[in-house]
Structure 1
């Protein structure tokens, strides 16, 4: 049935000619479907077996990636117990189910359409990678040495259809001395390799904190503590180096963000009782942090008020979006690099106003061609979680994503 309207007040339901739609060329049908938002694609899988099979064909995935670039999504989670994703295109929250049995899994890293999950705060870490849109996932083999994770970074290489994961964490040598090790996972070999020189645990205490490693121009970058600074891991040379760049004076809660090839840092600046929220960009030639943005006065007052009694917050982002979150509070502030606007992220129904589970966030770009069935190398065994399989077109849309009611955008 279809709707035909001669005027805005005259709507009539008429029968559509099935023979016309049945004979629609497949190429033309794919061109039409390629303009759908990515979440709508999974709903359309339920229409028929043909549409279900189209979704993961190499031709359609390539076409969809070309004509429908996706804006970054923002994932908010609470120690793996609650995980929700905000679609910045449709301005909707989606449930993002964790595809594993353990409730302690949380998102440790993201790269384009891939997410790396793991039990960050527990010994004997267990990691796996998945594409939450296609639901293909892979358990990673155990690391060779690391028993407790400090920092995780991830990079996805579209050309080789592979990815690498960097993990820096704690292990104990034969004399039971704690040391910090670095290990790199390569999806092409499906194995971990030891990289970098291990540091004594006392040096690691000030060299490396905990959080995300940001990929930018061939290296992973991390914030160091006591004092604040930046170090980088060169993936080709397998070495850590200090980045010789002076940090802004009186900086508070610095976080690194990579956006469209630019290495940015978001943090606070203390001036007496005043705390300003600012964004800097690394000027690579002169190796200096250049301030590019300040949070507007009204939003800054509201944001700083939520920081009390501590002054700790966290920044992340990619594409054209930078998001600032507060550990004990669910509201998040978002800055758009393209139109240079600030706003509050719409509240998520699943995240309480005051959160005791250490609210954290990360952003990713939903994609069909990252870690899909067609992108597996011969050395990497693909696997599907049978409890999450929705390959049958008669079943409902994938349970990894479902709509949630969201209040008005209070921008």
Structure 2
């Protein structure tokens, strides 16, 4: 009995020892030095950045720290957010692909001040979005920080010419370096101009020469929209209606170190402009003129792809294609399951798409139908996004623009 009493305190000590060791080994984020703390916080999901200011004074100061932004720039990839545009050209909602939910985003004050000349998004790259006003001015914005920059005027000579494409490219190595490319002029005399953020000015206009291997079925000479009678008896255009924000739908890719801009002609064909070689070529038509379809170009993992919604044999088909240069033909890379695409049959659905890495975000819209689809091109997976409800009513979006939510992306 006595021995047992003598052993009791020893057992108690043995039980407490691990707890005491745990308490002594536990650490808190505030115990880290500034560099380590900023490095840890830089890996947080992007949505957490908005809450840094409300945690404590130290974390609030980190949110605007230049060294913290440098730590954020070392994160190789952030899941994209998609800035949504509705029929009223409102752009206050984003879809967060990492958390798979909708978020309300405060519209930058600078953009709100342009009363009567509302800027709408026309291109995006990296962590930035390029806006254009109805008067032809450009504004580059970081949607996360709200930082904006008005781009110098292009010049009257360029502004008076037909504008076909607006593309944007951000340097993955320098978050403050980007280029905006305009393709303009008549198809018999195409040209381009480039704004370089490092130089802060528009470069001189350069002429594009048409390559000889352009399709023999080219319809570019007149640059006229081709109209035809649909099965319902309506007169429609071959590339159907475009959302105002996607009027100059185009993508910019780097191919063997050369910048190539792809855009849709008014007749629905894909035009490729090699800026380094100063040439352009029209790719063969995907579908005959008499087919009723909607089409858009996207960039996925550095490659230009085309998304086409068409109707054939009493059903609708939504497919993704890439262009094979060796034999100048289109090859299918993904197709929506017929059970999903059949829902679009007969509804005159217009598609507006944006690509990011291996994903394509597709906005489908018609007078009586609206849906948003995410497609993984590599896995050929198609998922319909949940509805976005505001005040109990589902929002209908015409188009979207992708960007990586990055604090360090400078305008």
2:264 alignment partner, SS class: strand
1:348 aligned partner: 388
1:213 aligned partner: 250
CA 1:269–1:359: 2 relative to 1, 3 Å: closer
Residue 277 (structure 1) aligned with residue 296 (structure 2): no
- Which has the higher mean CA deviation after the structures are superposed, 79-88 or 254-263? 79-88
1:188 aligned partner: 198
1:259 aligned partner: 300
Question: Which one has a larger percent strand, Structure 1 or Structure 2?
Answer: 1
2:36 aligned partner: 28
How many angstroms does 1:143 deviate by? 1.6
Are the counterparts in 1 of residues 165 and 248 from structure 2 also a CA contact under 8 Å?
yes
How many angstroms does 1:109 deviate by? 0.4
CA 1:98–1:181: 2 relative to 1, 3 Å: farther
For residues 1-400 of structure 1, what are the structure 2 equivalents within 5 Å?
22-67=30-75, 69-78=77-86, 79-99=88-108, 100=111, 101-102=113-114, 104-119=118-133, 122=134, 124-144=135-155, 145-147=158-160, 149-159=163-173, 161-168=176-183, 182-197=192-207, 203-206=222-225, 210-217=247-254, 218-226=259-267, 228-237=268-277, 239-249=278-288, 250=291, 252-302=293-343, 304-305=344-345, 308=347, 310-328=348-366, 329-350=369-390, 353=394, 359-371=398-410
Are the counterparts in 1 of residues 72 and 408 from structure 2 also a CA contact under 8 Å?
no
How many angstroms does 1:211 deviate by? 2.5
1:40 alignment partner, SS class: helix
Q: Relative contact order, CA 8 A, sep 6+: which one is greater?
A: 1
CA 1:19–1:325: 2 relative to 1, 3 Å: closer
1:305-337 residue CA offsets vs partner (Å, 9 max, x unmatched): 5x61x2432222211211221244442111123
Are the counterparts in 1 of residues 42 and 72 from structure 2 also a CA contact under 8 Å?
yes
1:363 alignment partner, SS class: strand
How many angstroms does 1:132 deviate by? 1.1
How many angstroms does 1:368 deviate by? 2.6
1:81 alignment partner, SS class: coil
Q: Which one has the largest radius of gyration? A: 2
1:175 aligned partner: none
1:236-280 residue CA offsets vs partner (Å, 9 max, x unmatched): 34x351144452454721211111122211102432433211111
How many angstroms does 1:296 deviate by? 0.9
* Distance in 1 of aligned mates of 2:91 and 2:97: 19
* Distance in 2 of aligned mates of 1:72 and 1:108: 17
Superposed CA RMSD in Å reads 3.5
* Distance in 2 of aligned mates of 1:232 and 1:338: 24
* Distance in 2 of aligned mates of 1:30 and 1:261: 31
